[in-house]
Amino acid sequence: MHGGNDACGARAVARCTELGRAPYSQMEGGLFRPYLGPSYRATCERLAQWMQDAGMATRMDAAGNLIGRYGGQSPDAPVVLIGSHIDSVRDGGFFDGMLGVVLGIEAVAHFARQGKRFPFALEVIGFGDEEGSRFPRGMLTSHAVAGVLESPDPDMTDCMGTATLATALREYGLDAKRMHMASRRDDPVVAYVEAHIEQGPVLEAEGHALGVVSAIAAQHRYRVTLCGMAGHAGTVAMKLRRDALAGAAEIILAVERVGRAGGDGLVATVGSLEVAPGAANVVPGHVAFTIDVRAGTNATRDDAAREILHIAHQVAKRRGLGMDVVLQQDLDATPCGPRLTDLMKHAVRAVTHTPARLLVSGAGHDAMVMAHLAPVSMLFIRCAGGISHNPAESVTDADAGLALRAMTTFIGLFERRFG
């Protein structure tokens, strides 16, 4: 049985690699799979075929998530959801998100080959918009499933300036005003399980193939806009300038300084910067950038965010700049379900023959939203160099095989303790 799972782990890696290229990517020479784009449609069609081959019935929900269902021992059986996200960042890696979806399919296929049914249904879900790499809000679709989606702006425009959310959904026969109907609040969902690459170096550094997530870090993400005065680079005196980019640079260094000084897993990042007019001989008059603040607790995150924004306001005032701050993402620290964490620790120990390494995830995941719906568990898989959101992202066949064995073992343990 182990040999079969190991071979299916290799197949999972091969499938993720296949989905990293056209027509499953919208980017020449790299991977970019934005929510509801042409590459997203092609990917959903391919995944749906694999789900059906594994014995599942498939559908797309009102938010554009792909779902495969492997029924339980009764039609009204409760549901264990297994999944991750389908979308990718621009020029991303092949395994971020997708490996969790494909391993979910392989886990169901493992039980289908045995003719095994459970007192619960297994559903594999591929979330459409975890990354927020198309529209300026991440995790839209898991918020919808968890029943906590605030009405999204149907007129928000995508990063390419080619479509609104309403238009993109309409092309799939969906309605932005009905996204909330993807909610599973009225369904008996008893657990959500997500396998994901670690996106960090700890497992590799310590020689572990797998890790168990105990909690997911709190996160705030802001979009900051500074407005100064554009002018000729050769004629505007230095003392008279209202240089938005110079102000942004000062704030960016403060973000790094606050992040470095904090504890409790605090990190602070400016990852996106837009400068206008963007000409070599013009003093920048308008700059927009993001600030991402994460920590192991809400309190540490909030203290750091307050300090950063206080400094930013001081810089803007001193330099004569207008400043606008929009909170784009507000995610609380999310503990994984203690009972499920214990089962995943036992599963990892059973397949690796070593105690499970517990980790706090600094990256955000759909699991932190799904925790509003049901207890969650996350399994981390070692990735080479801890590299992620990068074409160099890499996972071995052997580690994927171990992850699949841990997942099927976990499901077996969950059945024994179910009810």
Binding-site residues for allantoate, in ranges, read 221, 281, 294
Strand partners, 360: 215
Tell me the Ramachandran region of residue 134: left when phi exceeds 0, alpha when psi lies from -120 to 50, beta otherwise.
Answer: alpha
What residue numbers does the annotated binding site for Zn(2+) cover? 85, 96, 131, 196, 389
Contact partners, residue 316, CB within 8 Å, separation at least 6? 226, 247, 322, 323
Best CA proximity match to 131, nearest among 272, 60, 35, 201: 35
CB 294 within 8 A of CB 266: yes
Angle formed by the axes of helices 397-417 and 2-18, nearest 10°: 120
Give the pair of three-digit tokens for residue 237: 């005196």
- State the DSSP H helix or E strand holding residue 350, giving kind and residue range, or none if neither: helix 338-352
Distance of CA 220 to the CA centre of its chain: 14
Binding site, by residue number, is 85, 96, 131, 196, 221, 281, 294, 389
For residue 287, what are the β-bridge partners? 226, 275
CB contact at 8 A, 111 and 122 = yes
Distance CA 82, CA 108 (A): 10
Cis amide bond preceding 23, omega within 30: yes
> ∠ CA(132), CA(137), CA(129), 5° rounding?
40
Residues in the chain: 419
Which helix or strand (DSSP H or E) is residue 291 part of?
strand 286-295
